[in-house]
Chain A
Amino acid sequence: MTDQLYQDRIVALAKAKTGAGKLTAPTKSARRDNPLCGDRVIIDVRLDDGGKIAEIAHQVRGCLLCQASASALASVAVGRNAAGIEKVRLDAERAIGREEGEAGEPFAAFAPVRSHKSRHECVLLPFEALKEALS
C-alpha cells in the first residue's frame, strides 16, 4: 500500500453519519449531483427567524469522502448562516489544498485528500448542496 487516504478519522466521520436522514418539515432542500462520478447529495435545512440553521439533515448517495464531508458539515452547521457556512467551506478547501492557510476542525481530517485531485469534488459536493439550500 502506498498511501493512507482512508485514514481512521475520515472513516470515523463517515461512519458517524452525523445528520444522516431527512427533516420532516425542512425550510429548504437542495440536491446536487456530480455528473462525473454520480455522487448525489440532498440537504434539508430548517432555518430560524434570523436565517440561521436550526436543523440539518443529509442524504448522501456517494463515496466515503462525500459521506464523511456531509457528516462533518452537519456536525458544525447548526447556528450558522450562509456566511458562517462559507467559513467552514474555507476550512475544507484549506484541508484539501485549494486555499492557503491552516484548516480548522473537523475538516483538518481531510488533509489526505490533498494529493487526490480527482476526489476534491467529493468533499465539496455537500457544501454545494447546502449553499443552494441557503440561497
Chain B
Amino acid sequence: MSFDVSAVRRQFPILSQIIDGQPVHYLDNGASAQTPDAVLDAVRVYETTSRANVLRGVHRLAERATEAYENARVEVATFLGVDPMEVVFTGGCTAAINLVAYSYGSLLRAGDRIILSELEHHSNIVPWQLLRQRSGIEIDVVPVTVNGRIDLNALPRLLTPRTKLISLAHVSNVTGTLVDVHAVVTLARTVGAKVMLDGAQRAPHGPLDLPAMGIDFYAFAGHKAYGPNGIGVLWAKAELLEAMPPFHGGGSMIGRVTFAETTWAPPPRRFEAGTPPIGPAIGLGAACKWMRGLDWKEAHAHEMALVERLMDGLQKIDGTALFGPGSTQNRYPVLSFLLDGVHPHDVAQTLDSFGVAVRAGHHCCQPLMDRFDLDGTTRVSIAPYNDNTDIDALLTGVQHAARTLR
C-alpha cells in the first residue's frame, strides 16, 4: 500500500508524545479527533496577525479577520461541494441540529411527522423531542437490524403525507454503518419529505458532494474532523435557509432593528447571531483544506485495513463479539465490541493502562443500547494517522482484560 501513514502521523504533534513511558495509541477519534499542524498554524496566524471582530470594523485587522473567516466558509463549502452562502457556522454538530429543529421546526405544525432511527445520537433525538413539546409534531422511529444498520425496509410504512423530515446519522457513531442515502432520499421524495444527515462521523473521512446526494440538510462538528473545538457546520439548501426564521437573535443577524420591528439578514448571517467562534472557524477551514489534501481512496483503504486487522485480532480472543457488521462494506472505521463477562468501562480502563485510548459506554445512544439490552460497548474509532501498532496495542490490552478480569 502506498499510503504513507508515518508522513501523516508526523503532522500531528500530539501523537509523538510519550506519556508514562508509553506512546499514545489514540483510537477515540469518534469522540474527538486530533489536530494537525496545518490547523494549529492557521489558528495561530489569525490570533497573532489578524485577531479582531468580524463584519464590524473598518480597521485593517478587522478586515483581515473578516476575510479569514469568510475564506474558512469557502474552504468548508469546497469540502462539502456546496455554495459558501449555504454554509452556516455553528457552535458544533449538536448546535447545528438544534438550529434546524428550532428554525425549520418552527415551520412545522401540530400533527406533522418526522422520522428518526433507533441508532441516533442523543443530539439527533432530544432537539426533536423539544420541538414535539413546543409544537405537537410526532416522531416516528425506524428500527435497526441486528447488524446495527438502519432497517430501510421498515421505512416505507412509516412514511405519511404528513412526514416532513427524515433525519438520520450518515454514519453511526456506534457501529460505523453507512446509511443508504440514495434509498432514503428516493423514499422521502415520494411524500415530499426533506432529508437531514448528521454527518458527525462521516465528515472526518473525506470530502463530500452534498448536492449529488440529493439531501436538504447536513451537520457536522469541527473537533471530530481534525479542527478546533467549539465550531460546527450546518449546510442547508439556499431556499430552505431563506424560508427559515432565525434561531438566536443578536448582532450580525439583522437587517435593521427598531423597537417596533426588526428585519433579518439573509443567510448564512441570519443564523450567526453575535460574535462567531472566529479562530475555530478559521481552524476548521484549514482542517477541511487539510482533508482535501489527502488521497482518500488510499486513506480509506488504509483505515479499512486497520478495521480488518482489528476484527481478525478480536476474533482470536475468546469471548469477544462485534456489535455491528462483521464486514468492511458500507461502513466507516468505527467499531464496537463486547468482551463477555467484562464491563466495557473495565475494558477501556485496562486499555488506558496500555496507552490505548478508546471510548466505552452508551455513546450517547441509550435507545440503541436499550434495543439490544446492552450496558454499553467498547468503541474503537480510527483516523488516517492510526497504524498497525495502535491496533496491536489494543489487542494486547483486550487479551489482558480477558485474562485478568473474569
Contact = CB atoms under 8 A, between A and B. Distances in A.
Interface of A: 1-3, 5-6, 11, 36-39, 61-65, 116, 119, 122
Interface stretch (B301-309, B344-352, B382-390): B344-352
A61 B344 CA distance: 11
Contact of A5 (B22, B344, B353): B353
Given A38-B369, A62-B343, A119 B362 contact: no
Nearest to B349: A5
B349 A2 contact: no
A6 B22 contact: no
Nearest to B348: A63
Given A38-B362, A64-B405, A2 B346 contact: no
Interface of B: 20-22, 342-346, 349-350, 353-355, 361-362, 366, 369, 375-376, 400, 404-405
B21 to A, nearest CB: 7
Nearest to B22: A2
Nearest 9 CB-CB pairs, A to B? A63-B343, A63-B345, A2-B20, A64-B346, A1-B353, A38-B362, A2-B353, A63-B346, A3-B353
28 contacts: A1-B353, A1-B354, A1-B400, A2-B20, A2-B21, A2-B22, A2-B354, A3-B353, A5-B353, A6-B346, A6-B349, A6-B350, A6-B404, A36-B361, A37-B361, A37-B376, A38-B361, A38-B362, A38-B366, A38-B376, A61-B375, A62-B345, A63-B343, A63-B344, A63-B345, A64-B342, A64-B343, A64-B346
Chain A contact residues: helix, strand, loop or mixed: loop
Contacts, number: 48
A38 B362 CA distance: 7
Contacts of A63: 343-346, 349
Contact of A62 (B21, B362, B375, B405): B375
A21 to B, nearest CB: 18
Nearest to B406: A15
A1 B351 CA distance: 9
A134 to B, nearest CB: 26
Given A11-B405, A38-B361, A2 B375 contact: no
A6 B343 contact: no
B345 A37 contact: yes
A61 B355 CA distance: 27
Given A1-B353, A11-B405, A37-B361, A122 B20 contact: no
Contacts of A6: 346, 349-350, 404-405
A129 B331 CA distance: 41
B349 A119 contact: yes
Nearest to B360: A37
Contacts of B375: 38, 61-62
Contacts of B355: 2
Contacts of A64: 342-343, 346, 405
User: Which among A6, A36, A62, A63 has the highest number of chain B CB atoms within 10 Å?
Assistant: A63
Contacts of B350: 6
A38 B369 CA distance: 10
Contacts of A61: 375
Contacts of A119: 345, 349
A11 B404 contact: yes
A11 B404 CA distance: 8
Nearest to B397: A1
Given A11-B405, A37-B345, A63-B346, 18 more contacts: A1-B353, A1-B400, A2-B21, A3-B353, A5-B349, A6-B346, A6-B404, A11-B404, A36-B361, A37-B361, A38-B376, A61-B375, A62-B345, A62-B375, A63-B343, A63-B349, A116-B349, A122-B345
B351 to A, nearest CB: 10
A12 B349 CA distance: 18
Nearest to A122: B345
Contacts of B376: 37-38
A11 B367 CA distance: 31
A3 B19 CA distance: 12
A11 B342 CA distance: 11
Contacts of A62: 343, 345, 375
Nearest to A116: B349
Contacts of B353: 1-3, 5
A37 B376 CA distance: 9
Contacts of B344: 63
Nearest to B347: A63
- Residue with the greatest number of chain A CB neighbours at <10 A, chosen from B345, B350, B369: B345
B366 to A, nearest CB: 8
Contacts of A38: 361-362, 366, 369, 375-376
A31 to B, nearest CB: 15
A54 to B, nearest CB: 30
B390 to A, nearest CB: 16
Contacts of B343: 62-64
Contacts of A122: 345
